[in-house]
Chain A
Amino acid sequence: MKKTLLISGRVISLLVLFLFSVSLFAQEEGEAEEPQKERPARAPFESGLLFDNATATIQPSKTLEMIIQHRFGSIENGITDLYGLWAPSNIRLGLNYSLTDKLMVGIGTTKFNKMQDLQIKYNPLVQTRSGSMPITLTVYEVIGINATDEKNFGVNYQFSNRMSYFTQVIVSRRFNDKFSAQIAPSFTHYNSLDSAMDHDRITMSAAARFKFSPQSSIIVAGDFPLMLQSISEHNEEFNQAVKDAGNFVKPNFMVGLEVSTSTHAFQIYLGSAQNILPQENIMFNKNDFFDGGILLGLNITRLWSF
């Protein structure tokens, strides 16, 4: 034990020394010649929101963004409910505010499950025009609070049962004026769920935009929840049975059109998940895009600068 501690101490000391030397070296270089100010690349996406997903885009500091998200029902009932237009729809209203050019906070309220949410998005790395930083790195967190009746949370109710957490790292790149793309692994955790479900889930998401006119783009995205035995609370046989019965959460595919102006972004699209908040889609989506589980979605964002 003592030996392990000693080795760990030495490793840490070496690491600190190395980092210190690197920073000193960098400082000396900086003093020798005035570094040119890097120009950040233009935002990879028009809005901080793409379908149900966040993008790396953070509006300039002191900008307020109002968000309206509307999801109709799925088309699977056909003409009976006019392909989902008359079916129960889900709606989220949100407000985001950019505290700095790299930090945004937000709140929102969603109809399904009476979800209330707090959001925070931070860009520790921003792509530069010179290419010295080829990507924008974003950390995104959504804290959800289910505000439905407490009887929905079983026995031994506690407020914390209502909480869910979605943590995502977004790596995005604006390849040129027309094409941008991002990949975004995420970790979702629910404090309280049905006993047959796992509380944790890892998901891979991807999104892309192709701008075909100064204001219009084709947009696509997908969320792919993974069933990982290593983080599952159930045994392999149980998980296999869930999969075989088709009860595992379905991926969320989205394809649509975005029109953006100076202050608005409007997205109209076909997608599969109806829950809007990412953790809700990742944990509960049962709509299969390739088996009639398609719905019409609309997003509208409006910006105010202060």
Chain B
Amino acid sequence: MKNTIKSLFLLGSVVAFMVTTMSMTQKPGEPWNIPAKYKTMKSTVKAGDASINAEGKELYNKHCKSCHGAKGLGDGPKAASMKTSTGDFSSKGFQAQTDGEIYYQSFIGRGEMPNFEKKITDENDRWAVVGYIRTMKK
């Protein structure tokens, strides 16, 4: 009985250590260096367009949700294993960016954020995803 309690304590300590270490090592992302041509890009999908809640939502759920979470809070199941924080799409800071800046970060990517140009090939579908991310604003 004593040994069992010891083992459980040891296991608990190891798990607690791992969780603490992982959360401590995750750092906020460095500022993005976005080329000027992307910054000024205009969305081809207007706010409220039907494609935002159809294609945009479906593609977000398929390609983005596992890291960024269903509501863009950065709490997807894969987020904890990232070295860099996946950010919060609902925050004022994120939403203050231009559509083009969100487009660049979403589809061109860098480091742990992969390039999605080959996964979502249609330009309007990409803008529908940006449009859907816009709906996450608090």
Q: Contact residues of A with B, CB < 8 Å?
A: 39-40, 42, 60, 62-63, 101, 177, 214-215, 260-263, 305
Q: Contact residues of B with A, CB < 8 Å?
A: 54-55, 57-58, 61-63, 65-66, 115-116, 118-119, 121-122, 124-125
A-B contact pairs, 13 of them (CB 8 A): A40-B122, A42-B55, A42-B122, A101-B121, A177-B54, A177-B58, A215-B61, A260-B62, A261-B63, A262-B116, A262-B119, A263-B119, A305-B119
Cβ contacts under 8 Å, A60 to chain B: 118-119, 121
CA of A177 to CA of B53, assembled, Å: 12
A215 touches B118 (CB 8 A): no
Cβ contacts under 8 Å, B63 to chain A: 261-262
A305 touches B115 (CB 8 A): yes
Cβ contacts under 8 Å, A39 to chain B: 122, 124
B58 touches A214 (CB 8 A): yes
Using known A-B contacts A60-B118, A214-B57, A305-B119, determine if residue A262 contacts B125 with beta carbons closer than 8 Å. no
A262 touches B62 (CB 8 A): yes
CA of A42 to CA of B54, assembled, Å: 12
Using known A-B contacts A214-B57, A214-B61, A262-B62, determine if residue A63 contacts B118 with beta carbons closer than 8 Å. yes
CA of A101 to CA of B55, assembled, Å: 20
Closest to B125 in A: A42
Cβ contacts under 8 Å, A101 to chain B: 121
Cβ contacts under 8 Å, B58 to chain A: 177, 214
A62 touches B118 (CB 8 A): yes
Shortest Cβ gap from A255 to chain B (Å): 23
Shortest Cβ gap from A100 to chain B (Å): 12
Closest to A43 in B: B121
Shortest Cβ gap from A158 to chain B (Å): 43
CA of A263 to CA of B122, assembled, Å: 17
Q: Which 8 A-B pairs have the closest CB atoms?
A: A214-B61, A305-B118, A262-B63, A60-B118, A214-B58, A60-B121, A262-B119, A214-B62
Question: Known pairs A60-B121, A261-B62. 12 more at Cβ < 8 A?
Answer: A39-B122, A40-B122, A42-B122, A62-B118, A63-B118, A177-B55, A214-B57, A214-B58, A215-B61, A261-B63, A262-B62, A305-B118
CA of A260 to CA of B65, assembled, Å: 12
Cβ contacts under 8 Å, A305 to chain B: 115, 118-119
Closest to A262 in B: B63
Closest to B58 in A: A214
CA of A139 to CA of B122, assembled, Å: 24
CA of A138 to CA of B104, assembled, Å: 34
CA of A42 to CA of B59, assembled, Å: 11
Shortest Cβ gap from A266 to chain B (Å): 13
Cβ contacts under 8 Å, B65 to chain A: 214
Closest to A41 in B: B122
Closest to A60 in B: B118
Closest to B63 in A: A262
Q: Quick one: which of B62, B116, B125 contacts A215, CB cutoff 8 A?
A: B62
Shortest Cβ gap from B115 to chain A (Å): 7
CA of A177 to CA of B55, assembled, Å: 8
Shortest Cβ gap from B20 to chain A (Å): 29
Using known A-B contacts A177-B58, A214-B58, A215-B61, determine if residue A262 contacts B118 with beta carbons closer than 8 Å. no
Cβ contacts under 8 Å, A215 to chain B: 61-62
Closest to B66 in A: A261
CA of A262 to CA of B121, assembled, Å: 13
CA of A138 to CA of B66, assembled, Å: 32
Cβ contacts under 8 Å, B119 to chain A: 60, 262-263, 305
Closest to A39 in B: B122
CA of A260 to CA of B62, assembled, Å: 7
Cβ contacts under 8 Å, A62 to chain B: 118
Shortest Cβ gap from B55 to chain A (Å): 8
Closest to B123 in A: A39
Q: Most B CB atoms within 10 A — which of A40, A63, A101, A305?
A: A305
CA of A60 to CA of B125, assembled, Å: 15
